[in-house]
Amino acid sequence: MTQRHDSVTTTCLRDLVAQRLDKHWSDFAQAHPHLAEAIDRTQLIDLTIDKLEEDADFVAAMRQANIDHAALTTAVRLVDKAESWIRRLLA
């Protein structure tokens, strides 16, 4: 992966983790108000991302997603090429 792609992927992952955290935070904060006050949200997001990137299942799923994305991109290019030839033949 390129540096830019890694950065985009990390940003997307950060957004996803933040959304999931926000979804469950109010219940957690209600059950553990003092702990919720003491936790730094940004650090929790960073820690979660670090743990995900160490998780073998997560890494395998991301690898498969990249393979699937590459295959889909290739398929779209092939369809575009076929469409181009069809337009030429019918012109």
Statement to judge: residues 67 and 90 lie in one domain: yes
Statement to judge: residues 46 and 81 lie in one domain: no
Statement to judge: residues 25 and 64 lie in one domain: no
Answering whether pTM is above 0.85, one says no
- Print the domain residue range for 64: 56-91
pLDDT tens-digit series, residues 6-64: 655 778 899 999 999 999 999 999 999 999 999 999 999 999 999 998 999 999 998 89
Q: Count Cβ atoms within 10 A of the Cβ of residue 48 and give its class: 0-12 exposed, 13-18 middle, 19 or more buried.
A: middle
User: What are the Cα distances from residue 2, in Å, to 7, 10, 23, 60?
Assistant: 9, 12, 31, 18
Statement to judge: residues 30 and 63 lie in one domain: no
Statement to judge: residues 28 and 60 lie in one domain: no
User: What are the Cα distances from residue 31, in Å, to 25, 54, 68?
Assistant: 10, 29, 40
Instruction: Dig out the tokens for 40 from the structure.
Output: 């730094």
Instruction: Answer for the pair 44, 21: CB distance below 8 angstroms, yes or no.
Output: yes
Place 4 in a pLDDT band, splitting at 50, 70 and 90: very low
Statement to judge: residues 5 and 36 lie in one domain: yes
